[in-house]
Structure 1
């Protein structure tokens, strides 16, 4: 991956403004910027190649994973009109005109563990503890993808297993953790470490970092603010 200086130089002005706005509000996140830019580069490469983002976490971090997927699947801060060719294909179909006017282009993102039936089936049937994220990731992942594991401690075994599946599949393995980083940061291709001396403070930093990530990747593909 590129150096921070190279990545900063290829950001659009809009993307750079988004990053600087984050740093003005949260200068304590400066040390996380190089890894944040590496994640941005990985997501651009993934989406340009037809890939997707997979996410996993436990408890509040699971809620964060679902939150990120939701921000990417529809408009976050910018207009995402459907392309003209798809608009034309909707013509004459049931609700076609309304869909053409109201659908928004999504950036594919899936939070693992949301489907309770699958998760509990894996947990009930597998003799291996904590394998549910890894099993679901294995059924979905391809080499063009990015997998982001979220853990304040960086030591969530089920997230580490999912990162292993990502690496074995040729995908990019990314961790979002607290300042220590734990096993996940030591293993990941990209390790984003947020400051904080408690779970809630780290999670508050995570929110700022992933909202900035969502804003950056959206601004890369969509110009006009809503």
Structure 2
């Protein structure tokens, strides 16, 4: 029966959230990530977010809730997602898709900025190249992944590795939850909530 499939799916999502709640290290890194972003914004820096597929959607969502609005009206905060189709298709055509995010970070990333790099597998070459470009440009890297020990987990200055299991959709569900919490904390740390 379909109700059983629905219930099992919700229980699977709940198990991932329960595991996240119990993971003190990840909770501390969520707070640390919010502090890094808030500190960057205090110093007129910016948050740059990137990811592929559903992770790009998370990057866009994150940036628009900082630059636009989260739960209530407040001043706009400097946040960008690397999602402009003209940029992506230009770089993909001229340099290869692996460089669509790194070229943007090279052009726009400045010391004191932060990169929110999102990859459920932690192995996406385009995201890893953005991390390398960020590191070369003095940009702090916050990595969101679902695989402990993945290249993104290892390379990020702060890693938010979700305890969500093997499926990308469960990892993405926890990624958006963590990103929402980070936004809430950034607003509090900046005295905007």
* Bucket of the pairwise TM-score, normalised by the shorter protein: 0.7 to 0.9
Q: 1:183 to 1:123 in 2, by over 3 A?
A: same
Give CA deviations for 1:30-83 in whole Å, capped at 9, x if unaligned. 441121122112112201111000011000000000000111012212331xxx
CA contact 1:153–1:181 (8 Å) conserved in 2:
no
1:220 Cα offset (Å): 2.2
Aligned residue number for residue 117 of structure 1: 86
Equivalent position SS for 2:98: coil
DSSP 3-state at the match of 2:148: coil
Quickly say closer, same or farther: Cα 1:142–1:216, change in 2 above 3 A: same
Does residue 1:131 correspond to 2:99, yes or no? yes
Q: 1:200 — aligned with what?
A: 169
Given candidates 134, 151, 155, the residue that maps to 1:187 is 155
Match of 1:130, SS state, is helix
Moved over 3 A (4+): 23-26, 28-31
TM-score (norm. length: structure 2)? 0.84
Counterpart contact for 1:76–1:218, Cα < 8 Å = no
Q: Considering only aligned residues, what root-mean-square deviation do their CA atoms show, in Å?
A: 1.9
Conserved in 2, the CA contact under 8 Å of 1:54 and 1:146?
yes
Which among 134, 141, 144 is matched to residue 112 of structure 2?
144
Q: CA, structure 1 residues 28+199, in 2 after alignment: closer, same or farther (shift >3 Å)?
A: farther
Deviations 1:148-204 (A, max 9, x none): 110111111110100111111111011100142510111111111111111111111
Aligned pair count reads 176
| Unpaired runs of at least 5, structure 1 | 1-22, 81-104
Superposed, 1:66-81 pairs within 5 Å as 66-80=60-74
- Structure 2 residues not aligned, in runs of 5+: 1-16
